[in-house]
Structure 1
Amino acid sequence: MKKLSLLAAILLYSASVSANGIDALKAFIADTKTAQASFTQTVLDKSGVTKQQTSGTMAFSRPGKFRWSYQKPYEQIIVGDGSKIYLYDVDLEQVTIKQLGQALGSSPAALLAGDNEIEKFYVLADAGSHDGLTWLTATPKDKEGSFNQILMGFNQRTLAEMKIRDNFGLTTVLKLSHLERNPKLPASTFKFTPPAGVDVISDGK
């Protein structure tokens, strides 16, 4: 399964492990304007068998701007510039463009780069401590989306692990490293121009 699930792994935050999961998320929203990190991503099937492994880097600037660069094994870039989302598949030489709009609020990206109204789109619940981490679950209120639950595991002040469970029985596990909070990021980080010669597919709005 080569293709990556759009925005499936666009989730990251740091917060205090001493607080419960909901307090940790709210602290992140209040304290983190920008961030950047490296990540590894693993997709598991219903039986827990690995179907795909990828790695790359990410950055975000709240609200609404983010960049995910998948480097191995297939190169892919996802950029949100505050009004549109660009998905560039290098191998396919194809760029897909979508309006950001309400899609950000009801997608996993909202927990990363959205505004402060997280509970408008998610039901939040503490999920206890296990595997050395303190966990939170976020269940989307929009039942028409492609995923049904997000689990977030904290280690001290950093989100150490994410698990995104979709409606097709797949689980995407995201692990972060070298997280930097509130770095100064150039405006060019969140701008994208389709390369010459690629196919461009747009929603036309």
Structure 2
Amino acid sequence: MTRSFLSRSLSLIALAATVLIAGQAQAQTPQAVAQRLQQRYGALESLQASFVQTAGGQRLQGTLSVRRDAFRLDLGEQVLVTDGGTLWSYSRDDDQVVVQDYEPSRVGFSVGQLFTNYLDVFRVTAATKATIGGVAHDVLTLRPRSSGMSVRDATLYVRSSDAVPTRVRVHDTNGGTLAFDLRDVRRNVSLPTSTFRFDAPRGTEVVDLR
């Protein structure tokens, strides 16, 4: 499991949560969007979704579960899990799991921040409208407040009728683009504690860096 995979996966989880939180706001101006986001901080306890990620010519499918600082990202051959204190990075190809303390500062921000102080992480710079497949969407443009983040900006698309997010397009500081399409989004679902723990299969090499 490489550090680059870990960083990309953490960023992916954070951005996914960003879409789902931002998707609850329907507003016409950046200022109104920001206010609505602030009001909705405590409304979302948990979420689950399936997704398709496309980046660098590669297409990945997976599932995402998030509850506050805890999350689980399952890409089939790769799984990333944290309970908010410990991080498990599992690779089926390598038959290895790396265990370490979860330190959000390694990627510049915490997944949990997206549920508690969203506007400290991103600022909304534009709110427009678009029609995708005949369906009206609100389109939100976000830019990170921190200059040290690898994300340059993100564009979020949410259905105007029910505020369900459908896609995000992320541009990083190196000129790369990540396309992220959400499906079957479920909010405030009951998630057992075991969702955010990882039990390594028998015979898996465990590398404990704590």
Q: Same fold (TM over 0.5)?
A: yes
1:53 is matched with: 59
Q: What SS does the corresponding residue of 1:176 show, helix, strand or coil?
A: strand
**Offset at residue 95 of structure 1 (A):** 2.2
1:32 is matched with: 44
The answer on whether the counterparts of 1:22 and 1:125 sit within 8 Å (CA) in structure 2 is no
- Distance across 2 between alignment mates of 1:97 and 1:169: 31
- Distance across 1 between alignment mates of 2:143 and 2:196: 28
1:174 is matched with: 180
- Distance across 2 between alignment mates of 1:127 and 1:203: 43
- Distance across 2 between alignment mates of 1:142 and 1:94: 33
Displaced runs of 4+ in structure 1, greater than 4 A? Answer: none
Q: What SS does the corresponding residue of 1:9 show, helix, strand or coil?
A: helix
Q: What SS does the corresponding residue of 2:9 show, helix, strand or coil?
A: coil
Amino acid at match of 1:99: D
2:79 is matched with: 77
Unaligned runs of 5+ in 1: 45-50
- Distance across 2 between alignment mates of 1:99 and 1:201: 12
Q: Count residues in correspondence.
A: 190
- Distance across 1 between alignment mates of 2:140 and 2:172: 17
**Offset at residue 90 of structure 1 (A):** 1.1
2:122 is matched with: 122
- Distance across 2 between alignment mates of 1:86 and 1:136: 32
1:147 equivalent in alignment to 2:151: yes
The answer on whether the counterparts of 1:8 and 1:108 sit within 8 Å (CA) in structure 2 is no
Q: Tell me which protein shows more helix as a share of its residues.
A: 2
Per-residue deviation, residues 78-119 of structure 1 (Å, max 9, x unmatched): 1121112222111122323343344388347356xx441122
- Distance across 2 between alignment mates of 1:200 and 1:150: 36
- What is the Cα-based RMSD across aligned positions, in Å? 2.7
1:94 is matched with: 96
- Distance across 1 between alignment mates of 2:174 and 2:26: 31
- Distance across 1 between alignment mates of 2:180 and 2:80: 16
2:9 to 6, 29, 41: 6
1:42 equivalent in alignment to 2:47: no
The answer on whether the counterparts of 1:98 and 1:203 sit within 8 Å (CA) in structure 2 is yes
1:106 equivalent in alignment to 2:111: no
1:134 equivalent in alignment to 2:138: yes
The answer on whether the counterparts of 2:10 and 2:107 sit within 8 Å (CA) in structure 1 is no
Amino acid at match of 1:80: T
Is the alpha carbon distance of 1:116 and 1:104 closer, same or farther for their aligned partners in structure 2, counting shifts above 3 Å? farther
